Amino acid sequence: MSQAPKGPVAPLSPVLLAGLAVRPLPHQLLQPLLTTAIKQMQRQHPDVFERLTSVNSPRFLIDPVDLPFSFVMDTQPDHPSLELVKSDQNELEFHVRASVRGPLVLLIELLEGKIDGDALFFSRDLVIEGDTEAVLALRNAVDGADIQVHNDLLSLFGPLSKPVDLAAQVAGKLFNRFTRDLHILSSATLAPLQRKCDAQSAAIEDLEETVTALKKQLRRRSGKTT
Amino acid sequence: MKTQKLELVCPAGTPAALRAAVDAGADTVYCGFRDATNARNFPGLNFSRDELASGIDYAKAHGAQVLVALNTYPEAGNPAPWHQAVEDAADLGAHALIMADIGLLAYAAEKRPDTRRHLSVQASASNPAAINYYQETFDVKRVVLPRVLTVPEIKALNQEIDVETEVFVFGGLCVMAEGRCSLSSYATGQSPNINGVCSPASHVRYEDKGNKMVSKLGDFTINQFSQSEAAGYPTLCKGRFVTQDKASYLFEDPTSLNAAEFLPDLMEAGVTALKIEGRQRGKAYIAQVVAAFRKAADAAANNQPIPPLGLENITEGQRETTGAYNKRWQ
C-alpha cells in the first residue's frame, strides 16, 4: 500500500489541473521565475528576512499540496533563495527546519495577510511540521510586511506592466469561474460518498459509546470480585 | 451608571495589524515591545521603538489611541528592561500603560504620573477591595477584569469601585487563574507571567501521523486530531486527556469567547471598554473581528439589535462560548 501524501488533501482546483499540465516540464524552466520572485521580495520586503534573523534565518519547505512540486526557501537576509523540488523527494535531503503545507491559493493569501494563519491551522487547511517557532516567526514576519504578490510581480515587467496587468485580470476572472465550476462538479461527484461517510461516522460513534459503557460495566464487575 | 458608548480596545502584534485595527474602527489599540515585558513575547511579533512611534502617529492621525502592555512580572533582580519600557512608552506618547506588577505600577506612578495606568488582567483583580487598593495606591484609572465574572457580578462590582472597567468580549480563553497559572512553566520552564510566553512555540511540535495529527508541548502529548477535526492551541489547559477510558478536555475546550450578545447588558452594567484578544493573530483576523465588533458596539449604543458577526471561521476549534458571562457552573 502506498503512503498517503502529507498535509491537507489537495482540493480539485484549477491549480491542481495546471500542476498536472506542467508536471512534464523540466524544473530548470521554472527555476528562473522563482529566483526572480525571491529577489524581488528581498528588494521590496527586506524586513521579512530581517525579522527571521531572530530565529537564525531558517530554511523552510513550502509545499502547495495541489502542485506536483514544492519549494525550499532559504531566508538568509543577504542571499535568500527559492528552489523548486519534487514533492516526492525525501524531505531529509532539503535540510529544512520546518515544513508548511496547504493549497496554493491559501498559501498566497497567507503570504499577503488576507487570511489568518491560526484560523487555517484550526480548520486543518494548513499543516505545519518541524520547528514551530520558525514557522511562527515566518507567519508573523510576512503578516507584518504588506506583501501584495500581484503588484510585486507586476513591477518586474516595467513598461509592460499595464498590459500584463490587464491579461492577469482576465486570467483571474477565468480562474475564479473555473474554480466555481470545479466545485460544483466535485460536490455532485462526492455527494453519494459523503452520505455514506456520514452514516458510517454515526454508526462508529454509537459503537464507541457502547464500548465505553461495556468497559465501565466490566470495571464495576471486576471491582466487585476483588 | 449606564455607559453611553463602549470603547473598542483591539489587539495588534505588528504595525500592519495596528493599521488594520485602526482602519476597521478601533478606538484604542494595545500592543507590546519586542521583548519579555509583555505577555505575547512571540518570535517575529511585536514592536520596535521606531515601529511604536509610527504606530502611535498613525493611530492619533485617525482619532485612535495606543495602549502599551507591560504586563509581565519583572525578573527578580532585573527590573531595568521593564523600567526602560515604561519610560520609552511614555516618551513615545502612549495613551496608557497596561501593567500587573505592583513594583512596576509604583515605578510608573512615581516617574511618569502623567501617563494613564491600566491594571492588566494578569493582576487578576476581581473584587472591590483589590481594585480599590490599586486605585488608591497607584492611581489606576482602569481595570481589565478577569474572565471569571457574570454580568450581574460585574454590575455589582462597578457600583463599589471608582475606576473604569474593561472586559474581554472575543478571542482565546485562559484557565481562570490569570497571572497565576503555572501550567506552561511546568511543561516548558517558561511562563506567560515572567517570560511573556504561554506554551512557547520553541517547545511545540506537530506530527503528521497519516490519519491523525499529534500536538506535543515539551515532553507532553497534548492532543491528537483526526483528519476532519478542528484543532486548537497546544496548551496544557486545552489538552485532551484520557480518564475512565474516554479522551476528553478536562480543563477547558478549545473554543473562543464571543460575548457580542451581552453588549447591551455590559453597557447597562457600567462597563467602559470592550477588549478583543489576539495580539498573536494575523491582520486578517484583526480586520475581521474589529469590523464586526465595531458594528456590534455601535448597534448597542443605538439600542439596536446586535447583528450577526459571522466570526465562526476564525475561532479556536471553530467553536464559540459566552464563557463566564453566562456561567452555568459553580
What CATH number did the domain enclosing A75 receive? Answer: 3.30.1050.10
A48-103 tens-digit pLDDT: 998 899 899 999 999 998 888 899 999 999 999 999 998 777 777 889 999 999 99
> Looking at the structure, do residues A107 and A201 belong to the same domain, yes or no?
no
Instruction: Establish if A8 belongs to a structural domain.
Output: no
B155-196 tens-digit pLDDT: 999 999 999 999 999 998 887 677 788 899 999 999 888 888
Give phi and psi for B239, each to the nearest 5: -80, 155
Question: In A, which residues are within 8 Å of B50 by CB distance?
Answer: none
> Looking at the structure, do residues A70 and A134 belong to the same domain, yes or no?
yes
**B193/B29: higher pLDDT:** B29
A207-226 tens-digit pLDDT: 988 998 898 888 888 876 65
Instruction: Establish if A168 belongs to a structural domain.
Output: yes
Give phi and psi for B109, each to the nearest 5: -65, -35
Instruction: Judge whether residue A41 has pLDDT over 50.
Output: yes
> Looking at the structure, do residues A56 and A78 belong to the same domain, yes or no?
yes
**B149/A159: higher pLDDT:** B149
Cross-chain CB nearest to B284 (options A52, A114, A141): A114
Give the closest-approach CA distance of B206 to chain A in angstroms. Answer: 5
Domain range spanning residue A120? 14-147
Give the closest-approach CA distance of A136 to chain B in angstroms. Answer: 7
Neighbour tally for B210: CB within 10 Å? 9
> Looking at the structure, do residues A51 and A127 belong to the same domain, yes or no?
yes
A111-159 tens-digit pLDDT: 998 988 888 888 888 888 899 999 999 999 999 888 888 777 777 777 7
Selected residue of A107, A108, A133, A200 to mutate for chain B interface (largest B Cβ count, 10 A): A133
Q: Do B44 and A7 touch (CB under 8 A)?
A: no
Please say which residue of A115, A147, A179 terminates a domain: A147
- Residue A135 in contact with partner chain B when CB distance is under 8 A: yes
Question: In B, which residues are within 8 Å of A216 by CB distance?
Answer: 244-245
> Looking at the structure, do residues A107 and A23 belong to the same domain, yes or no?
yes
Q: Do B230 and A117 touch (CB under 8 A)?
A: no
Pairing outcome for strands A59-64 and A69-74: antiparallel
Cα separation of A201 and A215, whole Å? 21
> Looking at the structure, do residues A202 and A121 belong to the same domain, yes or no?
no
Q: Do A129 and B208 touch (CB under 8 A)?
A: yes
| pLDDT for residue A2 | 47
- Assign residue A95 a region: left if phi > 0, alpha if psi is -120 to 50, beta otherwise? left
Instruction: Establish if A2 belongs to a structural domain.
Output: no
SS (H, E, C) chain A: CCCCCCCCCCCCCHHHHHHHHHCCCCHHHHHHHHHHHHHHHHHHCHHHHHHHHHHCCCEEEEEECCCCEEEEEECCCCCCEEEEEECCCCHHHHCCCEEEEECHHHHHHHHCCCCCHHHHHHCCCCEEEECHHHHHHHHHHHHCCCCCHHHHHHHHHHHHHHHHHHHHHHHHHHHHHHHHHHHHHHHHHHHHHHHHHHHHHHHHHHHHHHHHHHHHHHHHHHHHHC
Q: Which fold has domain B7-173+255-326?
A: TIM Barrel (3.20.20)
> Looking at the structure, do residues A186 and A216 belong to the same domain, yes or no?
yes
Instruction: Establish if A153 belongs to a structural domain.
Output: no
Please say which residue of A83, A118, A147 terminates a domain: A147
Pairing outcome for strands B116-119 and B246-249: unpaired
> Looking at the structure, do residues A164 and A131 belong to the same domain, yes or no?
no
Cα separation of B189 and B205, whole Å? 16
> Looking at the structure, do residues A66 and A132 belong to the same domain, yes or no?
yes
> Looking at the structure, do residues A187 and A138 belong to the same domain, yes or no?
no
Task: Report the share of chain A in percent with pLDDT over 90.
Answer: 31
Cross-chain CB nearest to A137 (options B44, B207, B283): B44
Mean pLDDT on B281-299: 95
Question: In B, which residues are within 8 Å of A7 by CB distance?
Answer: 208
Number of domains in chain A: 2
Give the closest-approach CA distance of B209 to chain A in angstroms. Answer: 9
Please tell me which residue of chain B has the smallest CA distance to A119.
B314
| pLDDT for residue A15 | 75
Mean pLDDT on B270-276: 97
Cα separation of B208 and B231, whole Å? 13
Instruction: Establish if A9 belongs to a structural domain.
Output: no
| pLDDT for residue A1 | 43
In chain B, which residues touch A (CB < 8 A)?
A: 13-17, 42-45, 200-202, 204-208, 210, 213, 225, 227-232, 244-246, 254, 280-285, 288, 313-318
Domain ranges of chain B: 7-173+255-326, 183-249
Instruction: Judge whether residue B117 has pLDDT over 50.
Output: yes
Q: Do B43 and A137 touch (CB under 8 A)?
A: yes
> Looking at the structure, do residues A122 and A198 belong to the same domain, yes or no?
no
Q: How confident is the model at residue B245 (pLDDT cuts 50, 70, 90)?
A: confident
> Looking at the structure, do residues A55 and A165 belong to the same domain, yes or no?
no
**B14/A162: higher pLDDT:** B14
Q: Do B16 and A51 touch (CB under 8 A)?
A: no
- Is A226 exposed, middle or buried (CB count within 10 Å of its CB: 0-12, 13-18, 19+)? exposed
